[in-house]
């Protein structure tokens, strides 16, 4: 599935992801800027934070308590904030748009 990341400076980067990997892994593997993922995906760092395009919200897995707690440490969160290591790529997410906050530049 193709995931469209919008980097902190507004540059758009479309990457080809693999079903079952996380959005964070797809970003890191493709050198997307602004996703540091310091903890490697164990939901303990919040540096993989991004905004998910609202049109896609319903297709995402629900936020679990651990993700919710960690989001408090992310920069500039809003109603569309998620931790990208907690979202697995599915075929259903082909074309998903993920924006990385300016604050993570
Ligand atoms: Fe650390 Fe997602 S990679 S919380």
Question: What digits encode the pLDDT tens for the residues 41-97?
Answer: 999 999 999 999 999 999 999 999 999 999 999 999 999 999 999 999 999 999 999
- 26-32 mean pLDDT: 98
Which among 100, 104, 94 is positioned nearest to 82, based on CA atoms?
100
Cβ of 37 closer than 6 Å to ligand 1, yes or no, is: yes
Ligand 1 centroid to 36 CA: how many Å?
Answer: 8
Question: Between β-strands 2-6 and 96-99, what pairing exists: parallel, antiparallel or unpaired?
Answer: parallel
Domain ranges of the chain: 2-104
Q: What is the ipTM of this complex?
A: 0.99
Tokens of 29: 């593997």
DSSP β-bridge partners for residue 16: 2
Q: How confident is the model at residue 36 (pLDDT cuts 50, 70, 90)?
A: very high
Architecture of domain 2-104: Roll (3.10)
Instruction: Count the Cβ atoms, other than its own, within 10 Å of residue 43.
Output: 16
């Amino acid at each position: 599935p193709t995931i469209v990341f919008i980097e902190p400076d507004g540059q758009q980067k479309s990457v080809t992801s693999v079903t079952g990997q996380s959005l964070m892994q797809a970003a890191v593997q493709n050198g997307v800027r602004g996703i540091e993922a310091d903890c490697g995906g164990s939901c303990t760092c919040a540096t993989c934070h991004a905004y998910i395009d609202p049109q896609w919200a319903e297709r995402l897995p629900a936020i679990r308590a651990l993700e919710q707690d960690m989001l408090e440490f992310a920069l500039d969160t809003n109603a569309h904030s998620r931790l990208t290591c907690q979202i697995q790529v599915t075929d259903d997410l082909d074309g998903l748009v993920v924006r990385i906050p300016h604050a993570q530049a």
